[in-house]
Amino acid sequence: MLGIGDQVPEFSITGVKPGFNKHIEDGESAFETKWTRGSDMVIHCYCDRLSPDGIALVPGGQLVNEIADADALKFGGRVRTVNRGRMVVLRNANGFYAAVRVVGIKDSSRGAGDDELAIEIWILPEKGRDFSGVLD
């Protein structure tokens, strides 16, 4: 938990297009994400590359600052289907965790002009697992 005077970790809102792939960060905290369309309400997030090496769906309705131990989530499998407004937590081979919330999905096969994925990303520094200090 953050206290008075503590620095709030940065987060970013990123639009991802075309093809729904996004390289996030550099160095040890890098994540190379792969996404494919499901509909204009859901999208599939994959764990097919070296990073991330684990992916977990965050239980519905849970806020990022309610994830006290990212490692306690159910990592496994190579794909998670994520509804708009829901989150996944990614773990890379170097032990860094990133929470990713799907904010918006545009699907060109369903009437949108382009394919586009809007996401919010929080990457914990220093290989932390506790997102409870992040302001949502």
Per-residue pLDDT band at 112 (split at 50, 70, 90): low
Spatial strand order of the sheet with 31-37 comes to 21-24, 31-37, 42-46, 79-83
Provide the residue ranges of all domains of the chain, joining segments of one domain with +.
12-127
State CA 17 to chain mean position distance: 16
Q: Summarize the confidence of residues 27-54 as an average pLDDT.
A: 82
Q: β-strands 42-46, 31-37: how paired?
A: antiparallel
Contact indicator for 99, 122 with CB cutoff of 8 Å: yes
CA distance 96 to 51: 10
pLDDT at 24 over 80: no
Q: Which of 12-16, 103-107, 110-114, 122-126 has the lowest mean pLDDT?
A: 12-16
Q: What is the pLDDT of residue 50?
A: 62
Closest Cα to residue 48, out of 70, 78, 5, 83? Answer: 78
Decide if pLDDT at 20 tops 90.
Answer: no
In the predicted model, is pLDDT for residue 56 greater than 90? yes
Higher pLDDT, 47 or 10: 47
Q: What is the pLDDT of residue 13?
A: 40
Confidence of residue 117 (pLDDT cuts 50, 70, 90): confident
Structure tokens given for 75: 């990592």
CB 56 within 8 A of CB 73: yes
